[in-house]
Structure 1
Amino acid sequence: MEYSEVVTSRRSVHQYADEDLPAEVVESIFERVRYAPSSYNLQPWEFLVLTEGENRAALREAANGQEHVTDAPVAVVVLGNKDPAAHAEAVFDDWVAKGYLPNNDARDAVMENVAAMSELPAEERRVWTVRSTTIAATELMNAAWDQGVATCPIGGFDPEAVVEAFDIDGSQYEPVMLVTMGYPADEAADVDRERKYRRSVDEIVHFDEFDPAASTESPAAAETPASSDD
């Protein structure tokens, strides 16, 4: 697909076809995801891909029983590493090798900045990794749809239950999001169906000065004539 078609036709899908998602398709999707941008290019994301029924059942329990977690052939736990320095050496060695940094002294200076980030309070580091990892999760959903694979992001889950169910080090990793993946059931991702309401560019974009938008009136309500009692 063209990029514009991907972003305008993608839907969050709860109904999936009774069809497995081949491993090579999953891997090709993540081959694109790894190019997602991140702060300092530190790439703090990890993805736990669940294909076994018992694992998706355990995830469904941690996700408040949401049925599409098990209806989809694949569910992904999107994890963010809360240590900014976890992959910094490899990243900045590459910067030097490719000329993005002039020498090792410059590399060491950048490493010091990242090391200081690693000493920030836990909540600040959690926010840092959520910002970058959410970008990768968005890339995942768009990359999947480009191959005809439907997805649905899930924010309603118990992160502590996810950490416990899959033996994840919660002090190191933040469960940022869950994403279900699979080929959509018939008409579940109907690209010709009218899109749900989206706020306008004029309402969400502010040039040079921030003027908060007022609460949006329901489009349906706006079209309904006022009663005689008003």
Structure 2
Amino acid sequence: MSTVKDSNLYTIMHARKSVRVYDPTHKIPQKTLEEIIKEATTAPSSSNLQPWKLLVIQDDKTKVELRAIANNQEQVETSSAVIAVLGNAEMYKNVEQIYSQNVAEGHMDETTKDIMITSTNRSYPYASLEVRKNIATFDAGLISMQLMLVAKEKGYDTVTMGGFDKTKFVERFDLPEHIFPVVLIAIGKAAAPAYGSSRLPLNEFVQFI
């Protein structure tokens, strides 16, 4: 099987930096945000259960409140939007909808759908909450990375933020028990260049056996 190497992908990967200074006057159009998010959802997930929810915070007053929750990080308020990536610990409840859609779109047959649904219902509901939250957190990381790369391809900058009070976030946005915050992503137009960053050499963290 041949391998296709898209040089544009590498350009985007290397151009993406963690930007913390944004143009507060620039507002990303709603349609563009929706396009970025839709493309990001091509990220893989455990059993394709897509255990994520996104809360896109654009309202200026709400961003001021969020800044206080997020350790007073300026980019929360000055970016065009903050995308809160949330995990869904009850992801298995979407299994019928997801696999029925797979059949409707021609990705699998009815027999395979039934097998997958049965398998999911025999395992996920009986896994501990900790296990399900770990799965959802991992998958939330995958969609987050894709979102940042898609945003860069469209000319926007991002930064992820794990430093925020998750308890206060849950209270402020009235999240149900099975939905929990994973990371915040500020997105907008950079007003100052980001710092470069180094990477450890491969021989310090890779072992081929």
After TM superposition, the score normalised by the length of structure 2 is 0.88
Q: Distance in 1 between matches of 2:31 and 2:116?
A: 37
Name segments (4+ residues, structure 1) moved above 6 Å: none
Write out per-residue CA displacement over residues 86-113 of structure 1, whole angstroms, 9 at most, x where no aligned residue: 3211222234455654543x43332233
Match of residue 49, structure 2, among 42, 49, 74: 42
CA RMSD of aligned residues (A): 1.9
Counterpart residue identity of residue 200, structure 1: P
Higher gyration radius (CA): 1
Q: Contact 1:16/1:188 (CA < 8 Å) preserved in 2?
A: no
Q: 1:114 to 1:7 in 2, by over 3 A?
A: same
Question: What residue in structure 1 maps to residue 59 of structure 2?
Answer: 52
1:174 paired with 2:175, answer no
The code of the aligned residue for 2:171 comes to E
Distance, in Å, in 2 between the alignment partners of 1:154 and 1:53 is: 18
- The answer on whether the counterparts of 1:84 and 1:114 sit within 8 Å (CA) in structure 2 is no
CA contact (8 A) 1:84 1:118 kept: no
* Counterpart-to-counterpart distance in 2, 1:61 and 1:85: 34
The alignment partner of 1:78 has SS state of strand
Alignment of 1:101-120 (within 5 A): 101-104=108-111, 106-115=112-121, 116-120=123-127
Tell me which of 6, 31, 35 is aligned to 2:12: 6
Q: Which residue of 1 aligns with 2:208?
A: 207
SS of residue in 2 equivalent to 1:134 = helix
Higher helix share: 2
Of 170, 179, 188, which aligns to 2:193? Answer: 188
Deviations 1:25-78 (A, max 9, x none): 212211211211111111111110011111111211221221211111211110
Using a 3 Å threshold, how does the CA distance of structure 1 residues 98 and 20 change in structure 2: closer, same or farther?
closer
Q: Tell me, which stretches of 5 or more residues in structure 2 are unaligned?
A: 1-6
Alpha carbons of 1:148 and 1:101: their partners in 2 closer, same or farther (altered >3 Å)? closer
- Percent identity for Structure 1 against Structure 2: 29
Task: Please tell me whether the aligned partners of residues 74 and 181 of structure 1 are also in contact (alpha carbons under 8 angstroms).
Answer: yes
Letter of the 2:149 partner, please give it.
N
The count of residues paired between Structure 1 and Structure 2 equals 201
- The aligned amino acid for 2:193 is A
Report the CA distance shift for 1:125/1:55 in structure 2 as closer, same or farther (over 3 A).
Answer: same
Partner Cα distance (1:98, 1:206) in 2:
41
Distance 1:141 1:175 in 2: 17
Question: Within 2, Cα distance between the matches of 1:26 and 1:152?
Answer: 15
Unaligned runs of 5+ in 1: 209-230
- Give yes or no for the alignment of 1:83 onto 2:90: yes
State the alpha-carbon separation in 2 of the partners of residues 202 and 5 from structure 1. 24
Higher relative contact order (CA 8 A, sep 6+): 2
| Cα pair distance change 1:198/1:119, threshold 3 Å | same
User: Which AA in structure 2 matches 1:188?
Assistant: P
1:30 maps onto 2:31 in alignment: no
What's 1:159 paired with? 166
Q: For residue 164 of structure 1, give the secondary structure of its aligned residue in structure 2.
A: helix
